[in-house]
Amino acid sequence: MNPEPVTSWITSFPAELDARDEHALALADLHERLAGRAPPSGRFVRMWALSTLPAKLFAAYSLGWVRARFGSVEERERARAEAHWQAALYALGTMGYLRGAVTKAGQVLASYPDVLPRQVVELFATLHSEAPPMHFALLRELVRGELGASPEELFAEFEPTAFAAASIGQVHRARLSDGTAVAVKIQYPGIARAIRADLANARLLLLPLRLGRDWENLMEQLTEISRGLEHETDYLREALWTERARAHLIELDDVVVPRVFAGRSSARVLSTELLRGAHLDEFLATKPAQELRDRHAAAITRAGFRLWSSQRMFNTDPGPGNFLFLADGRTGLLDFGSCREFDAQEWELMRLGLRASREGGEAQRESIRRSAQLERLDPDSPQARALHATCEWLWAPLRHQGPFDFGDDDYLAQGVRLFGESLRQGHTRQAPVFVYCLRQFFGVRALLWALGARIDFRAIAEEEYARAGL
C-alpha cells in the first residue's frame, strides 16, 4: 500500500460511483479505524463480530430495495449499485477487523467473476495486497521481541508506513547497510491464535452435519485447512519454501523469486529482496499487448508445473497479490507461505490424475473414485456425472492442441458453475489434499482469465513432465 493508502482504495471504486463523494470518506474512515485495532483472538469475540454481519448486509439491501422501488430505471440501477457497495463496505470492515481466515475467504471470493456482484468483487480484491494495514506502533514491539532490536537498529532505512497488507501480515520497505532494498513482512499480533479460534468456531458451526455420512471426511478436510493456515503463520517455514522455490526456478529466465535475508527473519518477521513491479490491476491498467500478457501467463504456468513435477510441491495460494509484473517482462513470484508437498500416497494420486488427463476412460473413472475416497462410484449417478464434468473442465487446457484461450468468459464461468452445483448437491467428499489442489487449480485459471491469456498450456505441461521423467 502506498504512503497515502486511501488513494489506492479509491481506484478500486465501482466505475459508476464518484470517488470524490461520501464513499471516499467512508473508506478513509474505515481505513483509519481499522489501522489502530489489533485483530481479536478470542473465539467469542470473533464469532460475535461475524454474527452481526448478516444484519448489516440485510439493512444495506433493504434500503437499496426501498430506493429501487421508486424512480427511473437509471435511479434504480444506481440504488442497486449503492446497495452492493454498502454491503461490500460492511463486509470489508468485518474482514479488515478480524483478518486471518476471514480475510482469506474474502480473497478467494474476489478471485472469481460472477460469484458476487461486481461492486463487491472489486472492493474485496483490495484484500489481496491492499487490506487496511495496522499502525506500526502496534507492531514495533513484535519486531523487537522477534529480532532483538528495533527496525531502526536492524535496517539502515525503514519505512513505518506499510506499502502492502493482506490477511496475516503487512509489508514495509527497508534498506540494508549495503544499500540492498528489502521487503519486511511483519505478522499481525495474535493472528495465529485468531486463526485457531476461527477454525474452532467453524467446527462448532458444522456440528449439525455430524450425523451425515461424510462427517469424518469433512473433518479431515477441515484439519487439512487448519494445518495449511497454521503453516502460513510460520515465517521460518515460508523462508525455507521461498529458498527452495528460488533454487529450482532460477534457471527460468522469465521468473524471479526474491532472496531471503535469514539474519533479519524469524517466525513472525520475514525479510526478502524487494522486487519492483506492478500487481495485476496496475499491470492491466497499462493495457499491455497480448504477447506480453501471454509471456507472463506462460511464466506463471511453467513455474507451477516445474515445482509440481520436479519437486512434488506447489503454491496453494495463487492469488493475484502474490505475483508482480516487472518492467523487464519477467514475473515475480511472492509469498510461499502456503506451499504444499505431497507425501507418497498423495503423489500416487497425483500421478493417477496425470494419467487420467492424458487417457480418460478407465483411468479417469478410477482417478475420480479414489479422489473422492469412495469404495464404489456408480457411473450413472449424479455424483459421478458432476465429478466427470468438473474433471473435463479442469483438464480441457491439458487436452487442447495449441494455444488455449483462458480469457474466454464462458470457460471460467463454467468451472464456477460446476463447482457451485457440486456443493449444492452435497458432493463434498474428497481426499483432504484436494482442498488445496482445487484452490490452486481454480486460482491459476482465474489468474489466467484475468490476464486474458492465450497460451499452449498442454505443451508447457508436457515439457515439464518430460523434464521430470513423468
Q: Which of 111, 201, 205, 187 is nearest to 147 (CA)?
A: 187
How many CA atoms, within 13 angstroms, populate the side-chain half-sphere of residue 78?
Answer: 9
Q: Nearest 10 degrees: CA dihedral of 328, 249, 347, 344?
A: -150
**Could you report the per-residue pLDDT of 432-461, keeping only the tens digit for each?**
898 888 888 888 998 999 999 999 999 999
Q: CA-based angle 377:379:382, to the nearest 5?
A: 90
Q: pTM of this prediction?
A: 0.80
Which residues are within 8 A (CB) of 60 and not within 5 positions of it... i.e. 6 or more apart?
83, 86, 87, 90
User: If DSSP codes are grouped into helix, strand and coil, which group holds residue 37?
Assistant: coil
pLDDT at 13: 35
**Could you report the per-residue pLDDT of 23-80, keeping only the tens digit for each?**
566 566 666 665 656 676 666 677 766 666 665 655 555 655 555 555 566 666 666 6
Q: Is the pLDDT of residue 469 over 80?
A: yes
Q: Which residues pair with 340 in a beta bridge?
A: 314
Out of 97-106, 148-157, 353-362, pick the least confident: 97-106
pLDDT at 9: 34
Q: Which residues pair with 256 in a beta bridge?
A: 332
60 to 21, 54, 63, 67: CA distances (angstroms): 18, 10, 5, 11
The alpha carbon of residue 96 and the mean position of all alpha carbons in its chain are separated, in whole angstroms, by: 15
Q: Is the pLDDT of residue 113 over 80?
A: no
Which of the two residues, 87 and 354, has the higher pLDDT score?
354
Summarize the confidence of residues 413-428 as an average pLDDT.
Answer: 82
Tell me how far apart the alpha carbons of residues 470 and 465 are, in angstroms, rounded to a whole number. 5
> What is the DSSP pairing of strand 164-165 with strand 169-175?
antiparallel
pLDDT at 10: 33
**Could you report the per-residue pLDDT of 317-334, keeping only the tens digit for each?**
888 889 999 999 999 999
Tell me how far apart the alpha carbons of residues 393 and 141 are, in angstroms, rounded to a whole number. 49
- Helix 344-359 to helix 361-371 angle, to the nearest 10 degrees? 150
pLDDT at 306: 96
Which of the two residues, 5 and 450, has the higher pLDDT score?
450
Tell me how far apart the alpha carbons of residues 171 and 165 are, in angstroms, rounded to a whole number. 6
**Could you report the per-residue pLDDT of 215-274, keeping only the tens digit for each?**
888 888 888 888 888 888 999 999 999 999 999 999 999 999 999 999 999 999 999 999
Which residues are within 8 A (CB) of 266 and not within 5 positions of it... i.e. 6 or more apart?
146, 147, 235, 236
pLDDT at 229: 85
Q: Is the pLDDT of residue 4 over 50?
A: no
**Mean pLDDT rounded to a whole number for the chain:** 81
- Residue 412 · residue 449 · CB < 8 Å: yes
| pLDDT band per the 50, 70, 90 thresholds, residue 174 | very high
Tell me how far apart the alpha carbons of residues 95 and 50 are, in angstroms, rounded to a whole number. 9
Tell me how far apart the alpha carbons of residues 389 and 448 are, in angstroms, rounded to a whole number. 21
* Percent above pLDDT 90 for the chain: 42
